[in-house]
């Protein structure tokens, strides 16, 4: 008995590496601390009622935000582990197999469990407020999406201590990811973690398309929508067309692994390159999914902090929508070296270069918005200004990579690594950080501390260039990606050391940001006006943090930036309070515990499939079915906020007389 | 999306007067049976007949396309709704992207058979 438990545990838990034992200990200690706090302060009821079952888009957005910051920490630690290993030649810090696992989880977590949820967090925190709605179109589905993401991410992260991490690269190329190359459970964790959170992503895309189409304030025609809303709309279009491809591709890989299929194997008529073709058909649009909302954020911030209307609104909209269509025509540039022939490569090289045109148009529009504007250098604007040169260099190296014959030289070298980090950090991360600094006071009612923010800003920016500029050179010197060590004779040592220093500077920048958040909770400048930046769009017309129903009176919009025009008309005097007679009871969705249970059942099913424990997989799936049935027969899903409560809330905020 | 629109916050107008009709039970049952039949036919063709490989592929693709139309007509309510024809626009875009995906995958992968 003891012997069988011991042999099970030694294969079930990951053993043998001090780093992983350290992680085990910290996971157990953190869990005990969290449980202790919840029991000691009797916070279970509060947690369940206010957060776990909420369908309020603002709270869901906040949960997305904190989950993604947690994932940024995990992905960042992975990055620092890799940089430590590569700092000098012949370092014995990580072994080859551990290094493989670390670069795999770094990539997957940063894209799917950091960038995507941070983006969905911003969608949720901002879009309904910006279009004058009281919630998203499907609040229940919104909660389902969040919990699917959350449990998908947990399942994926569990692989670090249980069963073993995936180690076939962030896109799990077969035949390496097939049973022949990866017989362990790591790839199963990869497939199920991404599948479960992927359903949630698809649902969020649908949710925001419908929200933007159907829930805009009266009078807000398409061409009067704020730029961020437009960018969410284009990003959601890409999501609903791209994510099904990912789901199908991973399902096919699962058939290969679980049922002995031969779709992508080397033998039995399999076609491994087809997987690469399919996965990039999702993978390339995916980078535009994450970057378009960042463009939208920059457009809002540039207009607000230059005190000018955005330059070239129509061309911005046209650029966003054409990028969302063009993004489906460029995927082959990820595998030019597959050798599909000159005609194929040329077609996709031209498509890739073409997508640089609308993107370039947007950069000029931001510059022209700033031209002769009254620029205020506050934190969101600083990140925006840092983004522009960074993204332009990233874009230029992207066009270099798009030249198919030259790509045979750059492919899979550190030049490529430097390029995509430059567009993803310079574009996506800077953009989302700018958005977080910008909308933080709206959601939490206080600004983030300026001084600590500036330290973080400069550490991130200097760290970024110190880290990634040497990597362009290393690429030309022949260093390929995914090597876990190299010899003194290669001559890569000095530049790698510089790069590692830069990575740690960014890590310190992140620590400053965590400190900044904690510090500002107590000492941050409180926002009593609801409009701390003197901004232009509707979300700033309501108190910070907004009441649960957002808008007591639904705003009527008659022009672009209508909140700003209103302010100008009354010469920036405070808005007059609303007479109580204009208020009414408000129709809102009820909280529900079904989404978290539904997603937890998916987690159980996924875990069962990972280890091929059929009893567990099928009981999880049964739970999924029961949750769906319970929801289908729940008719009591909405209620009215009583008029007295609305009046009381509005009076307390000084918004009603 | 069913009888109660998932508690969509509706700008405080309160009642859902313009409730669209979401099809009858009869339509759903017909759609369900047609979907099952259209799924069983390819299975029977593959397991129970000796049709040529091309014949099997053509049968499966035909049944899949009919199935798609059945889903659109009986479950997705493609004929209903007023105002701008969002669903038609979306379908055209979807169809376009499907064609791009399938046709260019064939094109990209065909080089493989040339070199072998």
Show the 3-state SS of A341-387.
Answer: CHHHHHHHHHHHHHHHHHHHHHHHHHHHHHCCCCCCCCHHHHHHHHH
Cβ contact (<8 Å) for B2 and A632? yes
Same domain, residue pair B57 and B91:
no
Same domain, residue pair B53 and B103:
no
CA closest to B7 among chain A residues = A589
pLDDT tens by residue, B61-100: 999 999 999 988 888 777 776 666 777 787 888 888 889 8
Report the pLDDT averaged over residues A67-92.
95
Nearest partner of A364 among A418, A421, A295, judged by Cα: A295
Residues spanned by the domain of A286: 43-652
Total domains in chain B come to 2
Same domain, residue pair B22 and B49:
yes
Cβ contact (<8 Å) for B3 and A635? yes
Same domain, residue pair B69 and B90:
no
What is the pLDDT at residue B94? 86
Percentage, residues of chain A above pLDDT 70: 100
- Does residue A93 form part of some domain? yes
CA–CA distance, A306 with A370 (Å, rounded to integer): 6
The minimal CB distance from B10 to the residues A278, A587, A637 is found for A587
Give yes or no for A341 touching B (CB within 8 A): yes
Position A343 pLDDT exceeds 50: yes
Position A550 pLDDT exceeds 70: yes
Cβ contact (<8 Å) for B8 and A632? no
Compute the C-alpha angle A221/A227/A231, nearest 5°.
105
Same domain, residue pair B10 and B25:
yes
CB B75 within 8 A of CB B31: yes
CA closest to B16 among chain A residues = A587
Q: Chain-centre distance of CA B30, in angstroms? A: 15
Give yes or no for A43 touching B (CB within 8 A): no
What is the pLDDT at residue A86? 95
What is the pLDDT at residue A14? 81
Q: Which residue has the tokens 């260093």?
A: A479
The minimal CB distance from B11 to the residues A554, A632, A640 is found for A554
Position B18 pLDDT exceeds 80: no
Rg over alpha carbons for chain A, rounded to the nearest Å, is 25
Same domain, residue pair B72 and B99:
no
Q: Exposed e or buried b for every residue in A219-246, given b needs 16+ CB within 10 A?
A: ebeeebbbbbbbbbbbbbbbbbbbbebb
CB A393 within 8 A of CB A365: no
Compute the C-alpha angle A561/A564/A569, nearest 5°.
125
Give yes or no for A538 touching B (CB within 8 A): no
Highest mean pLDDT among A36-45, A276-285, A565-574, B10-19: A276-285
Q: How confident is the model at residue A608 (pLDDT cuts 50, 70, 90)?
A: very high
Q: What are phi and psi of A489, to 5 degrees?
A: -70, -15
Q: How confident is the model at residue A12 (pLDDT cuts 50, 70, 90)?
A: confident
pLDDT tens by residue, A121-178: 999 999 999 999 999 999 999 999 999 999 999 999 999 889 889 999 999 999 999 9
Report the pLDDT averaged over residues A85-109.
94
Nearest partner of A539 among A522, A519, A557, judged by Cα: A557
Cβ contact (<8 Å) for A277 and B3? no
> Helices A116-130 and A139-158 meet at what angle, rounded to 10?
170
Give yes or no for A139 touching B (CB within 8 A): yes
pLDDT tens by residue, A369-387: 999 999 999 999 999 999 9
pLDDT tens by residue, A255-310: 999 999 999 998 888 889 999 999 999 999 999 999 999 999 999 999 999 999 99
Interface of B with A (CB under 8 A): 1-4, 6-14, 86, 93-94, 97, 100-101, 105, 107-109, 111-112, 114-115
CA–CA distance, A402 with A396 (Å, rounded to integer): 10
Give yes or no for A332 touching B (CB within 8 A): yes
The minimal CB distance from B86 to the residues A213, A277, A585 is found for A213
Same domain, residue pair B75 and B105:
no
What is the pLDDT at residue A529? 87
Give yes or no for A433 touching B (CB within 8 A): no
Q: In a 10 Å sphere around its CB, with 0-12 CB exposed, 13-18 middle and 19+ buried, how is residue A492 labelled? A: buried
What is the pLDDT at residue A268? 86
Cβ contact (<8 Å) for B7 and A339? no
- Best probe of the A interface among B108, B109, B116, by most A CBs < 10 A, is B108
Give yes or no for A643 touching B (CB within 8 A): no
> Helices A272-306 and A430-444 meet at what angle, rounded to 10?
50
Total domains in chain A come to 1
What is the pLDDT at residue B1? 36
Position A558 pLDDT exceeds 50: yes
Cβ contact (<8 Å) for B7 and A341? no
Looking at beta carbons, which residues of chain A come within 8 Å of B12?
134, 554, 584-587
Q: Alpha carbon of B31 to those of A423, A629, B87: distances in Å?
A: 47, 20, 20
Q: How confident is the model at residue A536 (pLDDT cuts 50, 70, 90)?
A: very high
Please give, rounded to a whole number of angstroms, the shortest distance from the CA of B11 to a CA of chain A.
Answer: 7
Compute the C-alpha angle A444/A447/A453, nearest 5°.
125
CA closest to A552 among chain B residues = B12
CA–CA distance, A302 with A449 (Å, rounded to integer): 21
Give yes or no for A587 touching B (CB within 8 A): yes
Give yes or no for A138 touching B (CB within 8 A): yes
Give yes or no for A246 touching B (CB within 8 A): no
Report the pLDDT averaged over residues A228-254.
95
- Does residue A643 form part of some domain? yes
Give yes or no for A215 touching B (CB within 8 A): yes
pLDDT tens by residue, A500-531: 999 999 999 999 999 999 999 999 999 888 89
Cβ contact (<8 Å) for A637 and B108? no
Give yes or no for A630 touching B (CB within 8 A): no
Tell me the average pLDDT of chain B: 77
Give yes or no for A133 touching B (CB within 8 A): yes
Q: Alpha carbon of A247 to those of A202, A282, A513, B114: distances in Å?
A: 10, 9, 35, 30
Cβ contact (<8 Å) for A586 and B4? no
Q: How confident is the model at residue B23 (pLDDT cuts 50, 70, 90)?
A: low
Task: Retrieve residue A344's tokens.
Answer: 């194929």
Cβ contact (<8 Å) for B9 and A135? yes
* B27 vs A315, higher pLDDT: A315
Q: How confident is the model at residue A316 (pLDDT cuts 50, 70, 90)?
A: very high
Please give, rounded to a whole number of angstroms, the shortest distance from the CA of A53 to a CA of chain B.
Answer: 15
Looking at beta carbons, which residues of chain B come within 8 Å of A586?
12
Give yes or no for A248 touching B (CB within 8 A): no
Position B5 pLDDT exceeds 50: no
Report the pLDDT averaged over residues A37-42.
85
pLDDT tens by residue, A570-604: 888 888 888 888 899 999 999 999 999 999 999 99
- Does residue A296 form part of some domain? yes
Position B21 pLDDT exceeds 70: no
Q: Which residue has the tokens 């920036």?
A: A572
Same domain, residue pair B50 and B39:
yes
Cβ contact (<8 Å) for B105 and A141? no
CA–CA distance, A549 with A546 (Å, rounded to integer): 8
Tell me the average pLDDT of chain A: 93
Same domain, residue pair B53 and B9:
yes
- The CATH number given to whatever domain includes residue A357 is 1.20.210.10
Same domain, residue pair B76 and B88:
no
CA–CA distance, A208 with A120 (Å, rounded to integer): 10
* A174 vs A21, higher pLDDT: A174
What is the pLDDT at residue A30? 84
Same domain, residue pair B72 and B87:
no
CA–CA distance, A494 with A90 (Å, rounded to integer): 13
Please give, rounded to a whole number of angstroms, the shortest distance from the CA of A228 to a CA of chain B.
Answer: 21
Please give, rounded to a whole number of angstroms, the shortest distance from the CA of A416 to a CA of chain B.
Answer: 23
Looking at beta carbons, which residues of chain B come within 8 Å of A632?
2
Residues spanned by the domain of B90: 83-116
Cβ contact (<8 Å) for A586 and B12? yes
Q: What are phi and psi of A194, to 5 degrees?
A: -75, -40
Q: How confident is the model at residue B13 (pLDDT cuts 50, 70, 90)?
A: very low
Interface of A with B in 392-421 (CB under 8 A): none
Same domain, residue pair B97 and B52:
no
Cβ contact (<8 Å) for A632 and B93? no
Position B2 pLDDT exceeds 70: no
Cβ contact (<8 Å) for B9 and A344? no
Give yes or no for A339 touching B (CB within 8 A): yes
């Amino acid at each position: 008995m003891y012997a069988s438990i011991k042999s099970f545990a030694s294969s079930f838990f990951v053993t043998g590496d001090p780093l992983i034992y350290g992680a085990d200990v910290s996971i157990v200690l953190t869990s005990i601390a969290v449980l202790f706090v919840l029991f000691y302060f009797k916070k279970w009821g509060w947690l369940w009622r206010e957060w776990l079952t909420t369908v309020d888009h603002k709270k869901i957005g906040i949960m997305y935000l904190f989950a993604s910051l947690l994932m940024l920490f995990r992905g960042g630690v992975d990055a620092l582990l890799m940089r430590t290993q590569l700092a000098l030649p012949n370092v014995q810090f990580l072994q080859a197999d551990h290094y493989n696992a670390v670069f795999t989880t770094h990539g997957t977590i940063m894209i799917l469990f950091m960038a995507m949820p941070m983006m969905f967090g911003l969608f949720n925190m901002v879009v309904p407020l910006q279009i004058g709605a009281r919630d998203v179109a499907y609040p229940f589905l919104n909660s389902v999406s969040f919990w699917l993401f959350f449990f998908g991410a947990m399942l994926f992260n569990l692989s670090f201590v249980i069963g073993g991490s995936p180690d076939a690269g962030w896109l799990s190329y077969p035949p390496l990811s097939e049973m022949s190359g990866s017989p362990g459970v790591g790839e199963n964790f990869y497939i199920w973690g991404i599948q479960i959170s992927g359903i949630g992503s698809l649902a969020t895309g649908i949710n925001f398309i419908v929200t933007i189409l159907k829930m805009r304030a009266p009078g807000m025609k398409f061409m009067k929508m704020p730029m961020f809303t437009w960018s969410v709309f284009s990003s959601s279009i890409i999501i609903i067309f791209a994510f099904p491809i990912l789901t199908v591709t991973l399902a096919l890989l699962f058939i290969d692994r679980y049922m002995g299929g031969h779709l992508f194997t080397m033998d039995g008529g399999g076609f491994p390159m087809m997987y690469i073709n399919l996965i990039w058909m999702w993978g390339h649009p995916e980078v535009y999914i994450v970057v378009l909302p960042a463009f939208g954020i920059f457009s809002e911030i540039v207009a607000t902090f230059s005190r000018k209307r955005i330059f070239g609104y129509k061309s911005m909209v046209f650029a966003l929508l054409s990028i969302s269509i063009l993004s489906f025509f460029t995927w082959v540039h990820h595998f030019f070296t597959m050798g599909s022939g000159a005609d194929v490569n040329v077609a996709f090289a031209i498509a890739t270069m073409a997508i640089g045109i609308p993107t370039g148009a947007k950069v000029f529009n931001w510059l022209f918005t700033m031209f002769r504007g009254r620029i205020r250098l506050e934190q969101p604007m600083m990140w925006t200004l840092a983004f522009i040169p960074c993204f332009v260099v990233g874009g230029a190296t992207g066009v270099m990579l798009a030249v198919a014959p030259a790509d045979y030289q750059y492919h899979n070298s550190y030049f490529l690594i430097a390029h995509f980090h430059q567009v993803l950090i310079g574009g996506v991360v800077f953009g989302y950080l700018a958005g977080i600094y910008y909308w933080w006071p709206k959601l939490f009612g206080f600004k983030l501390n300026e001084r600590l923010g500036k330290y973080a800003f400069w550490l991130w920016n200097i760290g970024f260039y110190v880290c990634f500029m040497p990597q362009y050179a290393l690429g030309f010197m022949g260093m390929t990606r995914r090597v876990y060590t190299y010899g003194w004779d290669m001559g890569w040592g000095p530049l790698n050391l510089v790069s590692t220093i830069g990575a740690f500077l960014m890590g310190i920048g992140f620590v400053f940001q965590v400190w900044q958040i904690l510090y500002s909770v107590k000492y941050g400048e409180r926002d009593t006006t609801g409009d701390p930046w003197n901004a232009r769009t509707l979300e700033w017309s309501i108190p910070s943090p907004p009441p649960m129903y957002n808008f007591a009176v639904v705003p009527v919009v008659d022009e672009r930036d209508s909140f700003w025009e209103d302010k100008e008309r009354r010469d920036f005097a405070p808005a007059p309070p609303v007479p109580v007679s204009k208020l009414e009871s408000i129709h809102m969705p009820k909280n529900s515990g079904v989404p978290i249970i539904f997603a937890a059942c998916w987690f159980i099913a996924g875990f069962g499939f990972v280890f091929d424990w059929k009893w567990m997989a099928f009981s999880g799936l049964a739970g999924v079915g029961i949750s769906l049935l319970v929801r289908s027969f729940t008719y009591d899903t909405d209620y009215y906020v009583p008029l007295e409560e609305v009046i009381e809330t509005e009076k307390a905020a000084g918004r009603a007389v | 999306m069913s009888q109660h629109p998932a508690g969509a916050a509706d700008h405080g107008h309160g009642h859902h007067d313009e409730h669209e009709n979401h099809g009858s039970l009869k339509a759903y049952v017909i759609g369900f049976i047609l979907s099952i039949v259209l799924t069983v036919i390819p299975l029977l063709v593959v397991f129970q007949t000796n049709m040529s490989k091309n014949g099997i592929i053509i049968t499966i693709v035909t049944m899949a396309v009919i199935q798609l139309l059945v889903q659109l007509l009986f479950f997705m309510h493609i004929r209903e709704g007023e105002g701008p024809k969002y669903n038609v626009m979306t379908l055209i875009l979807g169809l376009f992207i499907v064609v791009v995906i399938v046709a260019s995958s064939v094109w990209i992968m065909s080089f493989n058979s040339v070199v072998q």
